[in-house]
Chain A
Amino acid sequence: MLAMNYRGPYRIRAEQRPMPEILHPEDAIVKVTRSCICGSDLHLYHGMVPDTRVGSTFGHEFIGIVQEVGSMVENVKVGDHVLVPFNIACGKCNFCKQGLYGNCHESNTMATAVGGIFGYSHTAGGFNGGQAEYVRVPYANFGPTVIPPDMDPDDAVLLTDVVPTGYQAAEMGGIKEGDTVVVFGAGPVGIMAARCAWFFGAARVIIIDHIEYRLEFARNYAKCEAYNFKSLEDPVMFIKKTTDWYGADVCIDCVGCEAEGNTLQTFTGRVMLMQAGSATALQWAVNSVKKGGIVSVVGVYGPPFNFAPMGNILNKGLTLRANQASVKRLLPKLIDHVQSGRLSPKELITHRVPLAEVSEAYRLFSSKLDNCIKTVLIP
């Protein structure tokens, strides 16, 4: 089968690889129909995530048709078109039972700090991902969800990560009616977080980035204010001023470890790898939010540590909330939002590329060429 093959930072190719096999009685083999490149895949592509081994296949946002099931699989059957949450969750451990499906204790042998994720390095379990023609899906009784027959597959594939992550970013913000919400990062997740902030009663939503075409997209899609931090002398001061010198009620970090905008963070995090990437967005979020405010983090940071203004978190009495999205918990609500027309995720898709051209697709997305927002790979 054709699959993406990681060869090193900025080097990938599509090539023929062995078919995946059932390795556990609760496994399924899924024939991928669509697979996305996620912004967090770029952290792998750029060599930022420890234990990313040559020969791995990335891809944690995918949908497909069940091709084969293990002997204990009862909840999906061969031929079902399913969307597969990016987190691999057993549904039985204490964390899963409490809805923390991104923190499953039985899907990652290699690290305890994160649950298993498809195609996201051995730090996230060493599973191959869905940027392939076929993929092994563990815990098929729990994770895969049959796509409603009237749902567009382009909407469905974005329900595997982008939509739940953006929604949970807003949810974790504890947004109250009338709040001012600032989202850092106008990538697909940031745009979705800004859009979803309205669901919780925000009165004002501001998005901050430095890529003009993405800010323009966010203005139109998420109906929010959008500002380029390169045209602001200091984004923190800007937010203070625009909130009557009070600070935003909620700040959301949708950037993670490859943020730009602060020379020291960029140099120590991205150039020298002295910290796990650059924590500029987190720093701005902490410093822009009001005293007693909430900072919600869904931007991905790798181990082992980042420079963050812990003193300000303490002295301002902030609540810091963060997690990988719990996709399975949120799916019923989000499917309803999509089916009722309140959300249209597929509008984020700007590029469709054959799987055979995966290396070109990564470069396009990584270098933000051709006004790219979201790329879908078609096997």
Chain B
Amino acid sequence: MKNQPFDYKEIPGWGMDADPENEPTYPMKNYTGDDHKRINYERSPQQPINVELLKSTERPAPSVVFGDTAPPSGLSGIIRRYAFKHSEDRYRHWIPLILADRINVYEGIIEDTVTGKLPNLFKEKGWSQEWKFDKLGVAKKAATVGFIAALAITYFREKRK
């Protein structure tokens, strides 16, 4: 059975208790009623789309402006394209994006290596600050790692015997 259109204003009592000041989002939101016009508002001209742009399935068209940084590429790009076939409501949107991010890190290392920029992990991770301001913490971490490594080595040596 189809829903039949009707004039809801004919319903007895319709709107009689409406209180425009009962707006729990005020002052964050200055309610104007424009929400009921939906997406029919004046838009600026569209930014030309010169890069591959992944669009949320929850909107009909790209936003007027968008960022053009790091378009999808490689294996992570394939996964991102898959993710963007699904709405923001679905785990199959977000979980693949997290996976793609992790793969993208290794793609970055390969890219760096190919272009002759070997990653300087000590510098990139800012470890000099840990040493400068928290020598005791660094020593504790080093001791923990050393202890676990020693345990592992001992375990495997014993196993070989």
Contacts and interface: CB of A to CB of B under 8 A. Distances in A.
Whether A and B are associated in the same complex: the answer reads yes
Interface of A: 7-13, 23-27, 47, 50-57, 72, 88, 90, 92-94, 97-100, 105-113, 116, 122-123, 125-128, 138-139, 168, 171-172, 273, 303-304, 319, 321, 323, 326, 359-364, 367, 369-370
B67 interface: yes
Contacts of A304: 88, 91, 93-94
A229 B65 CA distance: 44
Interface in B62-117: 62-70, 76, 80, 84, 88, 91, 93-94, 97-98, 100-102, 104-105, 107-109, 112
16 contacts: A7-B119, A23-B48, A53-B69, A54-B107, A92-B42, A93-B43, A99-B29, A106-B64, A109-B63, A111-B58, A125-B67, A126-B68, A168-B28, A359-B125, A363-B128, A364-B129
Contact of B67 (A122, A326, A362, A369): A122
Interface of B: 24-25, 27-32, 34-35, 37-39, 41-45, 47-48, 53-56, 58-59, 62-70, 76, 80, 84, 88, 91, 93-94, 97-98, 100-102, 104-105, 107-109, 112, 119-121, 123-130, 132-134
B26 to A, nearest CB: 9
Contacts of A369: 129-130, 132-134
A267 B115 CA distance: 38
Contacts of A361: 126
A11 B124 contact: yes
B21 to A, nearest CB: 14
A360 B126 contact: yes
B48 A359 contact: no
Given A99-B28, A109-B55, A126-B70, A367 B129 contact: yes
- Tell me the dominant secondary structure on chain A's binding face: loop
Contact of B41 (A53, A93, A113, A359): A93
A23 to B, nearest CB: 6
Contacts of B84: 110
B49 to A, nearest CB: 9
